[in-house]
């Protein structure tokens, strides 16, 4: 009788979360048996996922003419109810998504197609196989240069406001995510990847005074006397801020009004990142050790707060970081003892029922393999 082999599986995003803050990883993945999420993060997370799907859809569309993009946008807007249209935060996120979709189709995709051809993959997820660890990653796009035949690996991420863009873009050289993705793509394609890049989507920021999402595809300026619109800040008689969904020309025409210069600020590329095998192998070694620790200690951590605090430590420097939003689990970590002990009882948190397993076929798992942890 052979002993089943233990193979650990993790998602690179979940592993990043664990590296950043063990308690955030615990709360998101293991708390109450399924993990928990903050209610207010559901729609933003869904919009993020849809935005990535939009850009991947564009890559597959043969016709990216203005009429086709307008029709696609109208189809997305068609199911909106009156209640949806009165929900300003939801509409802000939706119109930012649609603005990105239209701007990418108008100003980025045509040039991209002249320089590269797409390389499709069998599944939307790729797996970096480093026995006994499998790391799941999700490429945004894999491209082959028409001039040099080089293969480029790309992913998408939301980019913080302009002041931090340069440092944020440069930081991806030191982020394990692209190194994992490049090597996973090489294993899938059986070809070397020249380099990887992160495309940053400029997310805008929340106004401290009005809570509006300040973003060129969300709010514009309207003159109540002349009826004119402008994407640029206007002062003087008659000019007031107004949401883009009240612009009569539609999303595509608004994006055209904003122009190519505004679009170029929405999609910015990191410098090329070349996979560092040594750094990746060191991370894999640490991750295997960490996954064994998680598998061994999770059961005890459910009932013993001391064990949980040791093996899923809080990183308090991430509670309210200098760049980006505050951690959604602040109340689960910093409020009264009852909430800290059972955060699922707090009315702001709900079970995390997102499906995170990878749709692997039986023959890909292999006989006698036990999947240890799915992040």
Residue 284 near residue 130 (C-beta atoms within 8 A): yes
CA distance 8 to 278: 21
Q: Does 224 lie in the same domain as 77?
A: no
What is the full DSSP assignment across 279-319?
Answer: HHHHHHHHHHHHHHHHHHHHHHHHH-HHHHHHHS---GGGS
Answer whether residue 324 shows pLDDT above 90. no
Q: Does 328 lie in the same domain as 226?
A: no
CA distance 43 to 51: 12
Size of the chain in residues? 375
Residue ranges of alpha helices (H) inside 30-87 are: 42-60, 66-77, 82-86
E-strand spans in the chain? 5-11, 36-38, 116-118, 126-130, 133-137, 141-145, 151-159, 195-202, 205-206, 213-214, 219-223, 229-230, 239-243, 267-269, 349-351, 369-371
Range of the domain at 71: 43-126+137-206+251-269
Instruction: Give 341's pLDDT tier (boundaries 50, 70, 90).
Output: confident
Mode of pairing for the β-strands spanning 116-118 and 126-130: unpaired
Instruction: Give 323's pLDDT tier (boundaries 50, 70, 90).
Output: confident
Residue 16, domain member (yes or no): yes
What is the full DSSP assignment across 209-222?
Answer: TT--EE-TTTEEEE
pLDDT, residue 236, reads 81
Burial, 73: exposed, middle or buried (Cβ in 10 Å; 0-12, 13-18, 19+)? buried
Positive or negative CA dihedral for 83, 85, 89, 95?
positive
CA distance 55 to 108: 11
CA angle 64, 67, 69 (to 5 degrees): 50
Q: Does 180 lie in the same domain as 114?
A: yes
Number of domains in the chain: 3
Q: Does 58 lie in the same domain as 98?
A: yes
Residue 176 near residue 109 (C-beta atoms within 8 A): no
CA distance 189 to 168: 29
Q: Does 73 lie in the same domain as 37?
A: no
pLDDT, residue 279, reads 97
Q: Does 105 lie in the same domain as 226?
A: no
Q: Does 153 lie in the same domain as 50?
A: yes
Positive or negative CA dihedral for 99, 145, 171, 180?
positive
Mode of pairing for the β-strands spanning 151-159 and 141-145: antiparallel
CA distance 73 to 252: 8
Mode of pairing for the β-strands spanning 229-230 and 239-243: unpaired
Instruction: Give 1's pLDDT tier (boundaries 50, 70, 90).
Output: low
Answer whether residue 118 shows pLDDT above 90. yes
Q: Does 185 lie in the same domain as 106?
A: yes
Instruction: Give 349's pLDDT tier (boundaries 50, 70, 90).
Output: very high
Residue 132, domain member (yes or no): no
Residue 106, domain member (yes or no): yes
Residue 53, domain member (yes or no): yes
Residue 131, domain member (yes or no): no
Which residues, 6+ apart, have CB-to-CB distance to 195 below 8 Å?
A: 150, 152, 153, 182, 272, 273, 274
pLDDT > 70 in the chain, percent: 93
Q: Does 200 lie in the same domain as 152?
A: yes
Q: Does 171 lie in the same domain as 78?
A: yes
Residue 234, domain member (yes or no): yes
What's the pLDDT tens digit per position in 48-81?
889 999 999 999 999 999 999 999 999 999 999 9
Question: Shortest CA distance to 203 belongs to which of 13, 58, 16, 48?
Answer: 48
Residue 117, domain member (yes or no): yes
pTM value? 0.88
Q: Does 330 lie in the same domain as 296?
A: yes
| Of 149-158, 187-196, 324-333, 354-363, minimum mean pLDDT range | 354-363
What average pLDDT does the structure give for the chain?
Answer: 90
Residue 15, domain member (yes or no): yes
Which residues, 6+ apart, have CB-to-CB distance to 243 below 8 Å?
A: 88, 91, 92, 95, 218, 219, 220
What's the pLDDT tens digit per position in 240-261?
999 999 999 999 999 999 999 9
Q: Does 232 lie in the same domain as 158?
A: no
For residue 271, what is the DSSP state? P
């Amino acid at each position: 009788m052979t002993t089943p082999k233990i193979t650990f599986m993790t998602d690179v995003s979940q592993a990043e979360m664990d590296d950043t803050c063990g308690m955030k990883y615990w709360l998101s993945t293991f708390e109450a048996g399924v993990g928990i999420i903050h209610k207010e993060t559901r729609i933003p997370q869904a919009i993020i996922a849809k935005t990535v799907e939009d850009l991947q859809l564009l890559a597959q569309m043969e016709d990216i003419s203005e009429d086709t993009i307008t029709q696609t946008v109208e189809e997305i807007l068609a199911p909106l109810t009156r209640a949806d249209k009165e929900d300003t935060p939801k509409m802000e996120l939706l119109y930012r998504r649609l603005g990105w979709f239209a701007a990418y189709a108008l100003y980025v995709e045509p040039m991209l197609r002249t320089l590269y051809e797409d390389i499709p993959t069998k599944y939307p997820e790729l797996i970096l196989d480093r026995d006994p660890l499998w790391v799941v990653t999700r490429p945004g796009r894999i491209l082959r240069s028409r001039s040099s035949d080089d293969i480029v690996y790309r992913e998408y991420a939301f980019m913080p406001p302009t002041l931090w863009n340069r440092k944020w873009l440069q930081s991806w050289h030191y982020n394990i995510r692209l190194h994992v993705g490049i090597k996973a793509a090489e294993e899938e394609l059986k070809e070397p990847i020249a380099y990887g890049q992160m495309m940053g989507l400029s997310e805008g920021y929340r106004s401290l005074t009005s809570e509006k999402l300040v973003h060129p595809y969300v709010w514009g300026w309207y003159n109540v006397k002349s009826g004119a619109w402008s994407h640029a800040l206007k002062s003087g008689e008659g000019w007031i801020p107004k949401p883009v969904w009240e612009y009569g020309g539609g999303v595509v025409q608004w994006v055209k009004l904003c122009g190519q210069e505004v679009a170029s600020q929405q999609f910015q590329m990191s410098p090329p990142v070349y996979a560092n095998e040594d750094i990746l192998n060191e991370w894999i070694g640490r991750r295997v050790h960490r996954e064994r620790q998680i598998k061994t200690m999770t059961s005890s951590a459910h009932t013993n707060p001391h064990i949980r605090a040791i093996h899923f430590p809080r990183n308090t420097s991430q509670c309210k970081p200098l760049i980006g939003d505050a951690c959604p689990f602040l109340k689960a970590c910093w409020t009264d003892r009852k909430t800290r002990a059972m955060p699922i009882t707090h009315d702001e948190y709900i079970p995390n029922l997102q499906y995170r397993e990878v749709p692997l076929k039986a023959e890909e798992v292999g006989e006698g393999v036990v999947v240890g942890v799915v992040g």
